[in-house]
Each structure stands twice: as C-alpha cells, then as structure tokens.
Structure 1
Amino acid sequence: MPVTAKTCPAPSRHLACTSVLASQFAACPSRRTFLKRSASVLLVSGVSSPLLTACGGGNLDSEQGETPRLASVENFRDVGGAAAGYPTVDGKQMRRGVFFRANVLTLSVADQTAMEKLGVASVYDLRTPGEIARTGDILPRGAVSQTLNVLGVRDFVAPAFDSAAAAAAFMESQARDYVTGSAQRASFGALLRQIADGAGVQLFHSSAGKDRAGWIAALLQSIANVPLDVIMQDYLLSNVYLAQAIRSQKATLRAQDGDALAAIQEPMLGVQEGFLQAGFDQVQASYGTMTRYLTQGLGVSESTIDSLRSQLVI
C-alpha cells in the first residue's frame, strides 16, 4: 500500500509514517534471500559492511531540517533524508545537502532563489527530448544543466491499458528495464560517474521525480548502506509530495475520460512498493548482487563507488 496524503498528511511529518509502513516490511522473504545471497551489496575496497542486510531499519526523525518545500517543484527533496539524515546499517548516517532529487524544474522566482541558496551547481535532466520540449527547466542561476536520456527514446508515451493491474505491470516493467535496458544502464552509469566527480551540490530529476529519479535515489541510498525498508519508505514518499498534483491529474482524467478510464490510469500517477521491488528483484535475477549490477551492469568502478559513499555518508 503506498503512503498517501491520508496516512501522512504533511510532508514535514512524513517520517512519522515509519510505524505505518513498518508492518509492510515485517515479512519479506524474497528480499531477505536476495540480501543474504548478496552478503554485501558493496564488497569493494573500503566498503565492507553489509548493505540492506535486513528488512528492518533505524528510527527516523520527523523534521525536515533546512530542506525547503518548493511550491512549484513538489517532489524536490534531499536524497539524504531529513534532520540528521537517514541512518545506515553500520551505525552512520547519510550526509544531507549533497544530492537532491526533483520533478521537472518549473521554478517560481521564490523557489529559484531558495534552490540557489542551497548552492545547486549541477542539474541532470533524465527526461526524453520530447518531455523536455514540452516543459523546459528553469534553472537556478549559476547551475549547469546536462541531459541524460535514460529511456533512450524520442519521447515517453505510455500505451493504452485495459485495467489498473496492466498499468501497474507496465510500471514494474519500466523498473526492470532500468536493470536490463542498454540505454538505461548507460545513462544511469554515466550519471553515477559524473556526480561522483562533480563539484558542489548536485540535483537530478525526471518528469515527476518518482520513477527514474526514484531509482537513482535508491541506488545512492543503497551505496550509503541505508536499510531496505528506509529506502522503500523514501521511495513511497513521492505519493505524499505529489499528493496535490496526483489529485489534480485524477480530476483531469475523470473530466476527460470518465471515472473508469481514470481509475485504470491511476497507477501511473504515483508509486507503489511493487515498482521499486521489481527493480531490486531484477538486479537479483540479472546480476545476483547489487555490486555486480553497479560494476558490470552500469560500468561504475569500485573507486567511483567508494567516492560516492564518502560523499554520501558522515
């Protein structure tokens, strides 16, 4: 069950949802098997502690700290989490203020100023050329932008579905393609290498900031040794941050196509646990461990992984 605005009414209190979500991860044998088989997602030099070693995680603070809420970019947030940062399985915490994720940067003047105060130096746009042509970014002043067409196609156009289950299955297939697709692997690998070498605060985004951006955020949190349930909670928070936009999209779909067709399209508007899990399951099926996916699938060197982890973890 995705986190919704009803279960967690305000993003500033989103981490209070930990107790609600905990029951969802109380029993996850397939994930536990994957993680036991992996032993450590990052068995590389300098990274010896297990990653995602259990379904349980640490306690999370409920305050947002200094990360601003942007009215014009709803799904803007710190990859490192809130307050002191997400906990890691080895007793450390993620460093905040280094990497940010977002949906398309339709920045208002006020939000542009707020983002500039964070020192955002680089922006990575993960959308297709068609998506960019429809809605271009408004960049923070001084930031340099680069596009990485993750899907490797001219435009993203979802097919027609005959049921909500088919729409959800499509979203799961998209997540699996992040692991198996050549264009996806090339772009995700390039992004990880570039942000590892980048200077200053860096931001990556997709259209809604929930799927392509959500996968990269999950990879970075994995590299940081954040527990699986916390990674999943962070992924599901897109439903909270995008709650108003989702309601608006649903209302538009109902007005245009009727209630039945709007209900079929609904899985496309948010995220579900099964979407991210499909990606992790595909990592297991294709590579056995996250390490092999990062190094063999994405072409990211062990030294790059070390560099990322040093930036991600305090």
Structure 2
Amino acid sequence: MNDPAARPGAAAGEELVRLASADNFRDVAGPGLRTADGVPLRAGVLYRSNELGLTDEDAATIAGLGVRAVYDLRDRHEVEAHPDVEVPGAANEHLEVRGIPMDQVASLATVQQADDVMHRVYRGFVEHPGGRAAFAALLGRLADGTEPQLFHCTAGKDRTGWAAALVLHVAGVAWAEIERDYLRTNDRSAGTRRKYLGMVREHLGEELVEVYERVMVADAAYLATAHDAALAAHGSLEGYLREGLGLSTTELDRLRARLV
C-alpha cells in the first residue's frame, strides 16, 4: 500500500486515534500542520509516541494504521527496564540517544538545576556524536520508508520532539508552527504528568513539585536550545542536517516527499 492517502487512518485524522496506554501517540503531520507556503501535510505516514507499554488493543490499533517499522530512541537502560510491546507486523530497531540523566534528576533541589539539566540534554542532541548518529539513522530510515513508521522515546517529548521538529522542518513547516506542535505534548500527557507529580508530592514533598515538573514538560526554551546549538555549529538547520547528520540532498528530498 504505497499511496499514503489510501492508508488506514490517513483520511480519518489523527485526533481520532487516542491510545489509553500511550497518551502521547500522534501523527507527525498533526492537526492543521502545513508547509510555510500553505500545503497540508500528508497524514498516516509517520507517527510519534511515548514508550510503547501497550495494551493488546492499542498494539492492534497501531498495527491497523499500517505501521511496519518502530524506531526506539531510548537508551539501553530504559529499553531493558521497559521493553516495547510488540506491534504486530512491525519491525523494531533501537537507535540510542542519551535522554534525561536519572542520576542527576534524583538530586535536583531547585528549578534552576532542573532547567540546567534539560538545556544540557537538548544541546547534547546536537553536540553528542552518538546522538547525531542516531538522529541521522532515524531520518535516513524515515526517508527510505514506503509504509507507515513510528518513532518514540520514553515521554515522547525530548528526543522524539527534536526528531519530529527536524522532520517537520524538512517538510517545509515554519519554525513557529513546529514549536507549537512540540508544545502539544503538554496537553496530550497532562494526565500522566499529574500522576507523577502527585507521587513527587507524596514522597518528596510539595516544595519539589515545581522542580520535577521542569523535567516533565515540553518547554519552547528547551527546543530553542537544540535549535541554537545547531545554528552555532553549522550556521543553519540545513547545515546541521547535511553536515552534522550527513544527510544527502536525495535523502532530504525523499523525506520531504513522504509528507508533502
């Protein structure tokens, strides 16, 4: 099934697909996302998510969307602790990117410390060789795909958020719209965030709720840190994609053609 418009879920609209066991699962094309010159993105092609601790019903739903490849951006320890539930008919590939360091999170005492950790994480997406290799591999796989694909990390906001931002940039979406879409995680995952902050309140105290919330939210300033690091190192996002990730014009054109 090579015509994206004919794929399951492409015409229905991603807002109709809400998974009980993966609340940040969504179509990369997003509701209302268009290129800077007004062309709507093609839905039903690429999906993004938080970790896939799926119920059988939700796994079947993803399979029903035609997803045939799942790319897991979590680090080895995250994968071992919470392995993906298999999506029937989909191959799973691990492309490791360093996420939020839990040893540093455990010792957080102030909002500033939490913000500092998150900015280091986002700079690392651009500056760390392993991260660049993983994001390069991911975008290359997405460009080469002919059927729907899914990529995810743990919360579906940081590593997945940067990857989705790059894909949308390649598709020609304006940065302001990319930022708006990135922030949708805060609405999609509000229930999960409230649950974990309730645990912080119960076990660590009210004074640390605001601190830990900083590592649980998508913040435009975090995304800007990765964006600015790419510009500082390569002059532009195009330079980062071509020089930093080593993607060819052909690969970028193929990726763009999948969504536009």
TM-score, with length taken from structure 1: 0.76
Alpha-carbon separation, structure 2, partners of 1:156 and 1:143: 29
Distance 1:100 1:215, change over 3 A: same
Change (3 A) 1:305 1:197: same
Residue aligning to 2:48: 101
> 2:8 — aligned with what?
none
The structural deviation recorded for 1:67 is 4.5
Output the amino acid matched with 2:199. T
Match for residue 77 of structure 1? 26
Match of 2:235 in 1: 288
Q: In 2, are the aligned partners of 1:121 and 1:199 still within 8 Å (CA)? A: no
Tell me which residue corresponds to 1:272. 219
Q: 1:139 to 1:156 in 2, by over 3 A?
A: farther
CA contact (8 A) 1:67 1:78 kept: no
**Deviation of the 1:169 alpha carbon:** 2.1
Shift in Å, 1:261 = 2.1
Could you tell me whether the CA contact under 8 Å between 1:121 and 1:142 is conserved in 2? yes
* Aligned equivalents of 2:207, 2:80: Cα separation in 1: 30
Q: Specify every segment of 5 or more residues in structure 2 that has no aligned partner in the other structure, as ranges.
A: 1-11
- The one-letter code matched in structure 1 to 2:163 is I
Q: Deviations over 1:140-165 (max 9, x none)?
A: 101100001112x9x94241223112
Deviation at 1:132, TM superposition (A): 0.8
Deviations 1:232-266 (A, max 9, x none): 11100111111000000000011111111232111
Q: 179, 198, 220: which is aligned to 1:232?
A: 179
Q: How does 1:205-284 map to 2 (within 5 A)?
A: 205-284=152-231
How far apart in 1 are the matches of 2:240 and 2:16?
Answer: 31
Name 1:171's counterpart in structure 2: 118
- Normalising by structure 2, we get a TM-score of 0.91
SS of the aligned residue for 2:156 comes to coil
Distance 1:310 1:248 in 2: 40
1:22 maps to none
| CA distance in 2: counterparts of 1:158 and 1:79, whole angstroms | 31
* Stretch deviating more after TM superposition (245-254 or 278-287): 278-287
Contact 2:51 2:152 in 1 (8 A): yes
Pairs aligned (count): 247
Asked if the contact 1:128/1:156 (under 8 Å) is kept, the reply is: no
Tell me, what secondary structure is at the counterpart of 1:146?
strand
> Counterpart in 2 of 1:150?
97
